[in-house]
Chain A
Amino acid sequence: MRKKGVLWAASRHALIGAVVALGAGLSAVHAVAAPKTDVSIGMAIEPAGLDPTAAAPVAIGQVTWQNIFEGLTTIDRNGEVQPQLAESWEISEDGKTYTFKLRPDVTFHNGVAFDSAVAKFAIDRARGSDSVNPQKRYFASIEAVETPDPSTLVLKLRQPAGSLLYWLGWPSSVMVEPQSADDNKTTPVGTGPFKFVNWAKGASVQLERNPDYWNEEGAAMLEAATFRFINDPQAQAAALQAGDVDAFPEFGAPELMSSFENHETLETVIGNTELKVVAGMNNARTPFSDKRVRQALMMAVDRSMIVDGAWSGFGTPIGSHYTPNDRGYQDMTGVYPYDPEKAKALLAEAGYPDGFSFTIKAPQMAYAQRTSQILQALFAQVGVTMEIETTEFPAKWVADVLKASDYDMTIVAHAEPMDIDIYARDPYYFNYKNPAFNNVLQRIEATSDPAEQEALYGEAQKILAEDVPALFLFVMPKLGVWNKKLNGLWENEPIPSNVLSEVHWEE
Chain B
Amino acid sequence: MIAILTRQVASLFVTLLVVSLLIFTVMDLLPGDPAAIMLGTSATPETLAALRTQMGLDQPLPVRYLAWLAGVFQGDLGQSYTYGVPVAGLMAERLWVTLPLALMAVTLSIAIAVPLGVQAAYRHNGPFDLLAGAISYVSIAVPAFWVGLLLIILFSTTLGWMPAGGFPGWDAGLLAGFQALLLPAVALALPQAGVLTRVSRAAVLEVMNEDFVRTARAKGLGERGAVWRHALPNALIPVVTMIGLQFTFLIAGAVLVENVFNLPGLGRLAYQSLAQRDIIVMQDVVLFFSALVIVMNFVVDLAYLVLDPRLRVPA
Chain A positions near chain B (C-beta within 8 angstroms):
21-22, 25-26, 29-30, 46, 48-49, 55-57, 129-137, 185-186, 200-204, 228-232, 234-235, 238-239, 241-242, 244, 392, 394-396, 398-400, 402-403, 414, 416, 419, 422
Q: Is the CB of B165 within 8 A of A244?
A: yes
- Asked if B8 is at the interface (CB within 8 A of a chain A CB), the reply is no
Q: A398-B32, A403-B36, A416-B41 are in contact. Are A201 and B264 (CB under 8 A)?
A: yes
Among A56, A131, A204, contact of B41 (Cβ-Cβ < 8 Å): A56
What is the CA–CA distance of A56 and B36 in the complex, to the nearest angstrom?
A: 10
Shortest CB-to-CB span from B100 to chain A, Å, is 15
Q: A201-B83, A202-B269, A400-B31 are in contact. Are A135 and B42 (CB under 8 A)?
A: yes
Among A26, A131, A235, A398, contact of B262 (Cβ-Cβ < 8 Å): A235
Shortest CB-to-CB span from A278 to chain B, Å, is 12
Interface secondary structure of B, over-half rule? helix
- Name 21 interchain pairs, CB-CB below 8 A, sorted by A: A30-B160, A130-B54, A132-B50, A134-B43, A137-B42, A137-B44, A201-B90, A201-B93, A204-B166, A228-B166, A229-B262, A230-B165, A239-B164, A241-B157, A242-B163, A398-B36, A399-B32, A399-B33, A403-B36, A419-B42, A422-B42
**Which segment, of B58-66, B272-280, B283-291, faces chain A?**
B272-280
Among A25, A395, A396, contact of B176 (Cβ-Cβ < 8 Å): A25
Q: Is the CB of B166 within 8 A of A230?
A: yes
Note all chain B residues with C-beta closer than 8 A to A56.
38-43
Encode contact with A along B67-96: 1 for CB under 8 Å, 0 otherwise.
000000000000001111100001001100
Note all chain B residues with C-beta closer than 8 A to A25.
173, 175-176, 179
Closest A residue by C-beta to B152: A238
Among B37, B54, B93, B157, contact of A132 (Cβ-Cβ < 8 Å): B54
B 293-314 contacts with A by CB, 8 A: none
Q: A134-B43, A200-B169 are in contact. Are A239 and B262 (CB under 8 A)?
A: yes
Q: Is the CB of B47 within 8 A of A132?
A: yes
User: How many A-B contacts if CB must be within 8 Å?
Assistant: 162
Note all chain A residues with C-beta closer than 8 A to B173.
25
Q: Is the CB of A395 within 8 A of B275?
A: yes
Q: Is the CB of B166 within 8 A of A203?
A: yes
Shortest CB-to-CB span from A215 to chain B, Å, is 30
Shortest CB-to-CB span from B281 to chain A, Å, is 11
- Asked if B248 is at the interface (CB within 8 A of a chain A CB), the reply is no
Note all chain B residues with C-beta closer than 8 A to A416.
41-42
Shortest CB-to-CB span from B178 to chain A, Å, is 9
Closest A residue by C-beta to B32: A395
Q: Is the CB of A235 within 8 A of B42?
A: no
Q: Is the CB of B83 within 8 A of A203?
A: no
Note all chain B residues with C-beta closer than 8 A to A136.
43-44, 46-47
What is the CA–CA distance of A365 and B156 in the complex, to the nearest angstrom?
A: 28
Q: Is the CB of A29 within 8 A of B161?
A: yes
Q: Is the CB of B41 within 8 A of A414?
A: yes
Note all chain A residues with C-beta closer than 8 A to B152.
234-235, 238
Q: Is the CB of A29 within 8 A of B275?
A: no
Q: Is the CB of A186 within 8 A of B160?
A: no
- Asked if B149 is at the interface (CB within 8 A of a chain A CB), the reply is yes
What is the CA–CA distance of A416 and B41 in the complex, to the nearest angstrom?
A: 9
Closest B residue by C-beta to A240: B164
Q: Is the CB of B32 within 8 A of A396?
A: yes
What is the CA–CA distance of A200 and B85 in the complex, to the nearest angstrom?
A: 12
What is the CA–CA distance of A201 and B82 in the complex, to the nearest angstrom?
A: 11
What is the CA–CA distance of A399 and B29 in the complex, to the nearest angstrom?
A: 13
Note all chain B residues with C-beta closer than 8 A to A137.
42, 44
Q: A29-B163, A395-B37 are in contact. Are A200 and B262 (CB under 8 A)?
A: no
Note all chain A residues with C-beta closer than 8 A to B107.
none
Q: Is the CB of A203 within 8 A of B175?
A: no
Those 3 A-B pairs whose CB atoms lie nearest each other, nearest first: A56-B40, A395-B32, A202-B264
Q: Is the CB of B31 within 8 A of A399?
A: yes
Q: Is the CB of B262 within 8 A of A230?
A: yes
Note all chain A residues with C-beta closer than 8 A to B247.
none
Closest A residue by C-beta to B160: A30
**Given A241-B156, A403-B36, 13 further pairs, Cβ under 8 A:** A25-B179, A57-B40, A131-B47, A134-B42, A136-B47, A200-B93, A202-B94, A230-B165, A230-B262, A231-B259, A232-B262, A235-B165, A396-B32
Note all chain A residues with C-beta closer than 8 A to B264.
200-203
Q: Is the CB of B166 within 8 A of A396?
A: no
Closest A residue by C-beta to B179: A25
Note all chain A residues with C-beta closer than 8 A to B160.
29-30, 242
What is the CA–CA distance of A224 and B315 in the complex, to the nearest angstrom?
A: 68
Note all chain B residues with C-beta closer than 8 A to A403.
33, 36
Shortest CB-to-CB span from B259 to chain A, Å, is 5
Q: Is the CB of A235 within 8 A of B164?
A: yes
Note all chain A residues with C-beta closer than 8 A to B175.
21-22, 25
Closest B residue by C-beta to A51: B84
- Asked if B216 is at the interface (CB within 8 A of a chain A CB), the reply is no
Q: Is the CB of B262 within 8 A of A185?
A: no
Shortest CB-to-CB span from B58 to chain A, Å, is 13
Closest B residue by C-beta to A416: B42
Closest B residue by C-beta to A364: B275
Note all chain A residues with C-beta closer than 8 A to B261.
235
Note all chain A residues with C-beta closer than 8 A to B269.
202
What is the CA–CA distance of A203 and B81 in the complex, to the nearest angstrom?
A: 18
Closest A residue by C-beta to B264: A202
Note all chain A residues with C-beta closer than 8 A to B42.
56, 134-135, 137, 416, 419, 422
Note all chain A residues with C-beta closer than 8 A to B82.
48-49
Most chain B Cβ neighbours within 10 Å, of A30, A242, A403: A242
Q: Is the CB of B36 within 8 A of A238?
A: no
Shortest CB-to-CB span from B96 to chain A, Å, is 11
- Asked if B51 is at the interface (CB within 8 A of a chain A CB), the reply is yes
Among A129, A392, A396, A398, contact of B50 (Cβ-Cβ < 8 Å): A129
What is the CA–CA distance of A422 and B41 in the complex, to the nearest angstrom?
A: 9
What is the CA–CA distance of A130 and B31 in the complex, to the nearest angstrom?
A: 25
B 140-191 contacts with A by CB, 8 A: 149, 152-153, 156-157, 160-167, 169, 173, 175-176, 179
Q: Is the CB of B157 within 8 A of A238?
A: yes
What is the CA–CA distance of A304 and B31 in the complex, to the nearest angstrom?
A: 35
- Asked if B268 is at the interface (CB within 8 A of a chain A CB), the reply is yes
Note all chain A residues with C-beta closer than 8 A to B47.
131-134, 136
Shortest CB-to-CB span from B264 to chain A, Å, is 3
Note all chain B residues with C-beta closer than 8 A to A394.
32, 37, 275-276
